[in-house]
Amino acid sequence: MRGHTDDINCVAHLPDGRSIITCSDDSSLRRWDLDSGAQIGYDWRDEGGEAKVLCISLSPNGKTVASGSSDETVRLWNVETEKVIVKWTGHAGTVMSLCWSADGERVVSGSGDGTARVWNVKSGKTVLGPIKAHEHVLAVIYSPDMKKIATGGGNDSLRRWDLESGAQIAVDWRDEGDKAEVWCIALSPDGKTVASGSSDGTVRLWNVETEKVIAKWAGHTGIVRSLCWSAGGERVVSGSHNGTAKVWDVKSGKTVLGPIKAHEYVHAVVYSPDMKKIATGGANEDAVKIWD
């Protein structure tokens, strides 16, 4: 799927299973038909906006997309009209990561300024933060009960935060001897396991209750930039700066598909809703690819 004119940073499947939304360094979001590979409609652009779009996250009801940009803002887009609904300011660095709460009433953002913020979707106000989380915050996720968030970033650790007090919960999650930056995190469907991808090319699984590493998978030879769990929690797909995507069996830790040579650098991997396809986006080809 070609049309973007710069690196593709994130991909989101729409609930209909027939289309995806992508974001790019070319300052646009775009929607694509999965059957034909054609772009649907025009580029999504904020009038006058020329910032790179680093991340997108689809609301639980599938009607709104949150995007984070190099101009330090978070934007909400209406999926039907493809227009910006609101723009939030407050970060002092590129917005690198976003996650919606399960009820769709909050969005958490992570930034290169080292902070995380929780936003009220209706009011657009920061309701928690800025939380000084890491040297730079590369990944954020909500807990299923919406009482906690987890962050990953440039100080070699994962951290959890209480959403009432804003205080860190317990100590940093660290793998003994590990000094790699955490570039991405993803929560398993049952909420019991966190997968993290690091600058040392490894994928780690963490037990949420014990806060300990329960598995470490090696195989990539570059930063693990993106992760996605299968709907049943039996597989994890990873994308790396070594240009490959891999599908891992959670129980055995073995690669069950790949390495798939996808792009020069793989920035985004995501399963389709029916689990039959994987979408990847990356660098230097300015294209999205769909894999069986």
**What's the CATH number where 182 sits?**
2.130.10.10
Percent of the chain with pLDDT over 70: 99
Report the distance separating Cα 180 and Cα 195, nearest Å. 15
**Whole-prediction pTM:** 0.92
pLDDT at 181: 86
For residue 187, being part of any structural domain is answered with yes
For residue 99, being part of any structural domain is answered with yes
For residue 13, being part of any structural domain is answered with no
Domain carrying residue 98: 46-291
For residue 35, being part of any structural domain is answered with no
For residue 16, being part of any structural domain is answered with no
Among 140, 121, 155, CA closest to 186: 140
Looking at the structure of the chain, the number of domains it has is 1
For residue 197, being part of any structural domain is answered with yes
For residue 22, being part of any structural domain is answered with no
pLDDT at 155: 67
pLDDT at 153: 86
For residue 223, being part of any structural domain is answered with yes
pLDDT tens for 126-183 read 999 899 988 889 999 999 899 999 999 876 679 999 999 899 998 888 887 667 889 9
pLDDT tens for 8-64 read 999 999 988 899 999 999 999 999 999 999 999 999 999 877 899 999 999 999 999
